[in-house]
Chains A and B, each alone.
Chain A
Amino acid sequence: EPEVTQTPSHQVTQMGQEVILRCVPISNHLYFYWYRQILGQKVEFLVSFYNNEISEKSEIFDDQFSVERPDGSNFTLKIRSTKLEDSAMYFCASSASPSSETQYFGPGTRLLVL
Chain B
Amino acid sequence: KQEVTQIPAALSVPEGENLVLNCSFTDSAIYNLQWFRQDPGKGLTSLLLIQSSQREQTSGRLNASLDKSSGRSTLYIAASQPGDSATYLCAVFSGGYNKLIFGAGTRLAVHP
> What is A's interface to B at a CB cutoff of 8 Å?
33, 35, 41-45, 48, 55-56, 58, 89, 91, 93, 98-108, 110
The complex places the Cα of A105 from the Cα of B41 at a distance, in Å, of 14
The complex places the Cα of A98 from the Cα of B91 at a distance, in Å, of 13
- The answer to whether A33 and B99 have CB atoms under 8 Å apart is yes
Give how many A-B residue pairs fall within 8 Å (CB-CB).
58
The complex places the Cα of A96 from the Cα of B93 at a distance, in Å, of 14
CB-CB < 8 A to A91: which residues of B?
43-44
- The answer to whether A45 and B99 have CB atoms under 8 Å apart is yes
CB-CB < 8 A to A33: which residues of B?
99-100
Extra contacts, 17 of them, besides A44-B102, A102-B34 (Cβ < 8 A), are A33-B100, A35-B100, A41-B104, A42-B102, A42-B104, A43-B91, A56-B98, A91-B44, A100-B32, A101-B49, A102-B46, A102-B49, A103-B34, A104-B46, A106-B43, A107-B42, A107-B43
> What is B's interface to A at a CB cutoff of 8 Å?
31-32, 34, 36, 41-46, 49, 51, 89, 91, 93, 95, 97-105
